[in-house]
Amino acid sequence: MDFERLTAEMRRIALAAGERIMSVYDAPDFAVRAKADASPVTEADEAADALITERLAAAFPDVMVVTEEQADSHRGSAAAFLIVDPLDGTKEFVQRRGDFTVNIAYVEGGVPRRGVVYAPARGRLFYTTAEGIAVEEQGPFDPDRPGPLRTLAVSTPDNAALVVVASKSHRDAATDAYIARYAVRDMTSAGSSLKFCLVASGEADLYPRLGRTMEWDTAAGDAILRAAGGRVVAADTLEPLSYGKPGYANPHFIAHAPGVQLRTG
């Protein structure tokens, strides 16, 4: 894979998808329906999915593209593939809370090698460079000319005073009980894959997710966090998440800065 070209294309496509999403978000009203699993989907999800799929297929015709909205059509496996959540945080989008993201990642050998996470309503754009460095770009965002970049690095955590980020829409008793096992200085909530980026930027030390997620929910954020020096591990084994599994379902996981003394069992 030509990572220079991949980075430029993923960034450009994510910005275009974000613009499409915001055109729906800023409208007076938009349609929402329930998918088979009862999760919500909007016209913005579907429009972004169509745009990203078309442009990735045109740019990388020989690479399989897996997207949340078309996951049922992907029955095979590949050593390398692109995986997309066109609008992560649909509940945040529907409630107009702003914490939703566009996610595109490149997976090779079961590992997310490169990724982009764009939060258009928040004006935050995170990605991995061609060299594999995690960065946040400062806006305004020109599709063809990247702006100033800030290199991301995870925190050096104090286990007596951790900063924890958890889901806004998927917080549950199991997550609260797990967090209670740590000495927490500050708790913050965020939607979508922004939580990975907060750990990657050093704004949080720990993000546990003890609930159902899919690979497209995590791959881009995982790529950025790994590039910033962090880890995303299965909650039971503490082994790094792997990608390209049958069905694309993740185990419960913990995203963290190295140095956090993880609790298991």
pLDDT in tens, the chain (265 residues): 999 999 999 999 999 999 999 999 998 888 777 766 657 788 999 999 999 999 999 999 999 999 987 765 554 568 999 999 999 998 888 888 888 999 999 999 999 999 999 999 999 999 999 999 999 999 899 999 999 999 999 999 999 999 999 986 667 788 889 999 999 999 988 888 999 999 999 999 999 999 889 999 999 999 999 999 999 999 999 999 999 999 999 999 999 999 999 987 5
Token readout for 105 is 């990642």
Token readout for 222 is 């995982």
Task: Determine the Cα–Cα distance for residues 133 and 175; give it in Å rounded to an integer.
Answer: 31
- Which has the closest alpha carbon to 162: 179, 198, 186? 186
Which H or E element spans position 16? helix 3-25
Which H or E element spans position 49? helix 43-59
SS3 percent helix, strand, coil of the chain, rounded to 5, is 30, 30, 40
- Which has the closest alpha carbon to 45: 13, 18, 15? 18
Bridge partner residues of 76 (DSSP): none
List, in order of start, the domains of the chain with CATH numbers. Answer: 3-151 (3.30.540.10), 162-256 (3.40.190.80)
pTM tops 0.85: yes
Task: Determine the Cα–Cα distance for residues 121 and 21; give it in Å rounded to an integer.
Answer: 9
Residue whose tokens read 């799929």: 53
Q: 240 phi and psi, to 5 degrees?
A: -60, 145
Query: What letters, b where the CB count within 10 A reaches 16 and e where it falls short, cover 11-45?
Result: bbbbbbbbbbbeebbeeeeeeeeeeeeeeebbbbb
